[in-house]
Amino acid sequence: SSWFRSIEPAPKDPILGVTEAFLADQSPNKVNVGVGAYRDDQRKPVVLECVREAERRVAGSQFMEYLPMGGSIKMIEESLKLAFGDNSEFIKDKRIAAVQALSGTGACRLFAAFQQRFHPNTQIYIPVPTWANHHNIWRDAGVPMKTFRYYHPESRGLDFSGLMDDIKNAPDGSFFLLVLTAHNPTGVDPSEEQWREISSQIKAKGHFPFFDMAYQGFASGDPERDAKAIKIFLEDGHLIGLAQSYAKNMGLYGQRAGSLSVLCEDEKQAVAVKSQLQLIARPMYSNPPLHGALIVSTVLGDPDLKKLWLKEVKVMADRIIGMRTTLRENLEKKGSTLPWQHITNQIGMFCYSGLTPEQVDRMTNEFHIYMTRNGRISMAGLNTGNVGYVLDAIHEVTK
């Protein structure tokens, strides 16, 4: 029959294409700095010790029943404390509508669907550039999208004045997607002072800030520090939306553990919003997965395991920060005359190197180093064994 005859294959995801090419390469020197998942110094994926211990504790102790539609209450409680602070008045006043979500992606998608249902004609502004999936998520949810300036290619830093102008010039009462912290793909975050100005401008315009926080703790090594911008916005009296993910900071990538929260004006509104979020989730996946939620609530709910987690997340962050320093210092030592401060100014999994697509092609063709053509280097792909080889290649193609 002709049901599917006219369907063309979907375009390939550029990152999967990089991985495929890497796997097909036979060179012993090959390096993959394309994919955004943490690896230790021996290039191995990591299961955190706190996670292994939590798994031991939950093994066999739980039934495999359905979670409630909104997910694990305990996991949500712990997630809110992590993002809003242990003693948050908003938690005490029950002003936050929160549900477990299918990791950060699912949280964004659920919020986008919520937005589409209740504010179908209000556009969301997303940064240029941003994680490519942001486009897909809000597009598929049917939300009108606009962009705001974020990255400044010349300085390889923040286009702060462009960003502020775009916030100012957006129609009052727009949604703004703010990526918090360790911006993907650029690694460029606003400073604390800049966040204050952004918050006050967003307030003045009556915009709604939606935060996508996929790397809390993974950026600086300190979850509280990484969530600082949220605190600033809360102090300024915003209502906010927030997507949280445990993929990177707890290494739970495939468990799809995350949460979505919406700060409301009062408890009554929070009850209504939560019930609507559940109503959207119900026909999509009914209820969220159990295992990752058990791990998160066990780790964050036990003081000793939480302490261990804080230590382990700092080890990951510090390894990446250390790689940045090695990369920058050695490029400078080699006599590269280009500016490389941005490598250490940027933070998190990714470094927006500034390599041009042509230079990236040379990295791949001549040196077997695989990365996306926008010049994004996944710092987690670097280690003491290959960083020297990679920086030699960068030096060579940028001469």
For residues 266 and 95, the answer to whether their CB atoms sit within 8 Å is yes
User: What's 37's DSSP letter?
Assistant: S
Q: Which of 72, 174, 181, 184 binds ligand PLP (CB under 6 A)?
A: 184
Q: Taking contact as CB under 6 A, which single stretch among the options 18-26, 43-51, 98-106, 289-297 is the one that binds ligand PLP?
A: 98-106
Residue 304 annotated as catalytic: no
Tokens of 213: 């926080």
Residue 248 annotated as catalytic: yes
Q: Does 214 bind ligand PLP (CB under 6 A)?
A: yes
Contacts with ligand PLP in 117-156 (CB under 6 A)?
131
Q: Which of 53, 78, 212, 226 binds ligand PLP (CB under 6 A)?
A: 212
Q: How far apart are the first and last CA of the chain?
A: 58
For residues 143 and 115, the answer to whether their CB atoms sit within 8 Å is yes
The residues that bridge with 377 in the sheet, in sequence order, are: 351
Q: Taking contact as CB under 6 A, which single stretch among the options 231-239, 245-253, 274-282, 374-382 is the one that binds ligand PLP?
A: 245-253
Cβ neighbour number for residue 56 with a 10 Å cutoff: 11
Q: Does 258 bind ligand PLP (CB under 6 A)?
A: yes
Distance between CA atoms of 215 and 226, rounded to whole angstroms?
A: 8
Measured from the CB of residue 348, what is the shortest distance to ligand PLP in angstroms? 9
Q: What amino acid is encoded at 131 in this protein?
A: W
Q: Which is nearer to ligand PLP, 256 or 328 (CB)?
A: 256
Out of 195, 226, 248, 274, the active site residue is 248
Q: Taking contact as CB under 6 A, which single stretch among the options 97-105, 152-160, 321-329, 384-392 is the one that binds ligand PLP?
A: 97-105
For residues 126 and 151, the answer to whether their CB atoms sit within 8 Å is no
For residues 157 and 345, the answer to whether their CB atoms sit within 8 Å is yes
Q: Which is nearer to ligand PLP, 178 or 264 (CB)?
A: 178
Q: Which of 79, 105, 174, 372 binds ligand PLP (CB under 6 A)?
A: 105
Distance between CA atoms of 99 and 281, rounded to whole angstroms?
A: 10
Measured from the CB of residue 213, what is the shortest distance to ligand PLP in angstroms? 8
DSSP 307-351: HHHHHHHHHHHHHHHHHHHHHHHHHHHTT--S--HHHHHS-SSEE
Measured from the CB of residue 366, what is the shortest distance to ligand PLP in angstroms? 29
Measured from the CB of residue 147, what is the shortest distance to ligand PLP in angstroms? 15
Residue 81 annotated as catalytic: no
Number of residues that bind ligand PLP (CB under 6 A): 13
Q: β-strand 369-370 against 175-179: which pairing, if any?
A: unpaired
User: Catalytic residue positions?
Assistant: 131, 212, 248
List residues near ligand PLP by CB under 6 A: 36, 103-105, 131, 179, 184, 212, 214, 245, 247, 253, 258
